[in-house]
């Protein structure tokens, strides 16, 4: 019996000497000078200001918490006794949450969900409520990630369709050019056979130098066009 009491006392001591993880993570975000444009201490160091709530939820919360829900973060602050002290900005204060005094975090305790006497099943209902909030936050974050992936997939499909259309168009152009080259070669061959002189009814294989040069120039032009279209 004495051993059990000692163990319970030790656990209670550890609990009181260690700040709650939520408070410690929040303190780290506020204390970090790299995040001053988004969240920072107020001028007196007696509270902190979230200057850009959207960026705070999107970029900073997921680095230390399992969600990116600013409303859930504010609800957590309220359960630890923080007060919103300004109407024109998101400024929160707690007497034990001060700049340079991290040791005071151990003095901040989570508010109970009941007053006077705890009702039967009260702690269980409170835990269930907190669990539901965490699940909703996680679901919101998951839905946001799924939406981003769906948009990216839609964009890639659209780009793939455009590339497929361009590829098909280039193949058709290559085929048309090849058909044109074949027709040209066939007509040239026929023209050469018709223009060769006959001797005793037999065509003589005589070609002029100028015709050769002209045909070579046209063939080179067609070859260049073909190579450019099929790239």
Is there a single domain that holds both residue 162 and residue 98?
Answer: no
Q: Which of 52, 87, 107 is where one domain is finished?
A: 107
pLDDT at 9: 46
Q: Tell me if 29 is assigned to some domain.
A: yes
Q: What is the pLDDT of residues 149-207, one digit of tens each?
A: 777 777 777 777 777 777 777 788 788 888 888 887 777 667 666 666 665 566 655 55
Same domain, 26 and 86: yes
Q: Would you tell me the crossing angle of helices 209-229 and 122-195 to the nearest 10 degrees? A: 170
Note whether 102 and 157 are same-domain residues: no
Query: The pTM is what?
Result: 0.45
* Per-residue pLDDT band at 123 (split at 50, 70, 90): very low
Give the percent of the chain with pLDDT over 90: 32
What is the pLDDT, as a whole number, of residue 230? 57
Return the pLDDT at 13: 42
Residues 101 and 163 in one domain: no
Same domain, 96 and 175: no
Most distant CA atoms of the chain, gap in Å: 134
Query: Averaged over 20-42, what is the pLDDT?
Result: 93
The answer to the question of residue 227 being in a domain is no
DSSP category for residue 118:
P
Asked if residue 134 is part of any domain, the answer here is: no
Give the mean pLDDT of the chain.
Answer: 74
Query: Does 138 fall in a domain?
Result: no
How open is the CA angle 3-4-10, to the nearest 5 degrees?
90
Averaged pLDDT for residues 35-56? 95
Closest to 26 (Cα-Cα) out of 89, 95, 98: 98
- Identify whether residues 20 and 103 lie together within a single domain: yes
Number of domains, the chain:
2
Q: Per-residue b/e over 88-125, b at no fewer than 16 CB within 10 Å?
A: eebbbbbebbbbeeeebbbebeeeeeeeeeeeeeeeee
- Identify the CATH number of the domain in which residue 70 sits: 1.10.10.10
Residue 211 included in any domain: no
> Do 22 and 99 sit in the same domain of this protein?
yes
Clarify whether residues 21 and 82 are in a common domain. Answer: yes
Q: Is the residue at 195 inside a domain?
A: no
Phi-psi region of 198 (alpha: psi -120 to 50; beta: other; left: phi over 0): beta
Q: Which two tokens stand for residue 93?
A: 């204060």
On whether residue 41 sits in a domain, the answer given is yes
Q: Based on the domain organization, do 99 and 161 belong to the same domain?
A: no
Domain that includes residue 89, residue range: 15-107
Mean pLDDT of 81-99: 93
Burial zone of 1 (CB within 10 Å; 0-12 exposed, 13-18 middle, 19+ buried): exposed
Residue 46 has pLDDT above 80, yes or no: yes
Which range among 39-48, 103-112, 118-127 has the greatest average pLDDT?
39-48
* Per-residue pLDDT, 124: 44
pLDDT at 23: 93
Q: Which two tokens stand for residue 169?
A: 């168009």
- Domain annotation covers residue 197: no
174 and 99 assigned to the same domain:
no
Do 161 and 89 share a structural domain?
A: no
């Amino acid at each position: 019996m004495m051993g059990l009491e000692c163990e319970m006392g030790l656990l209670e001591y550890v609990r009181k000497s260690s700040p709650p993880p939520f408070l410690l993570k929040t303190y780290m975000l506020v204390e970090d000078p790299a995040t001053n444009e988004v969240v920072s201490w107020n001028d007196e160091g007696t509270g902190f200001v979230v200057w850009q709530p959207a960026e705070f939820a999107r970029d900073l919360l997921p680095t230390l918490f399992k969600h990116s829900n600013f409303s859930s973060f504010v609800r957590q602050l309220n359960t630890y006794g923080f007060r919103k002290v300004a109407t024109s900005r998101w400024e929160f204060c707690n007497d034990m949450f001060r700049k340079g005094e991290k040791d005071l975090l151990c003095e901040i305790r989570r508010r109970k969900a009941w007053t006077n006497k705890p009702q039967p099943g009260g702690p269980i209902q409170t835990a269930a409520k907190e669990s539901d909030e965490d699940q909703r936050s996680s679901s919101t974050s998951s839905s946001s990630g799924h939406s981003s992936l769906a948009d990216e997939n839609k964009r890639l499909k659209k780009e793939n369709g455009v590339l497929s259309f361009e590829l098909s168009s280039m193949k058709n152009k290559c085929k048309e050019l090849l058909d044109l080259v074949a027709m040209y070669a066939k007509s040239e061959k026929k023209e050469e056979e018709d223009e060769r002189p006959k001797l005793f009814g037999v065509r003589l294989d005589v070609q002029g130098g100028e015709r050769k040069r002209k045909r070579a120039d046209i063939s080179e032009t067609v070859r260049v066009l073909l190579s450019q279209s099929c790239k």
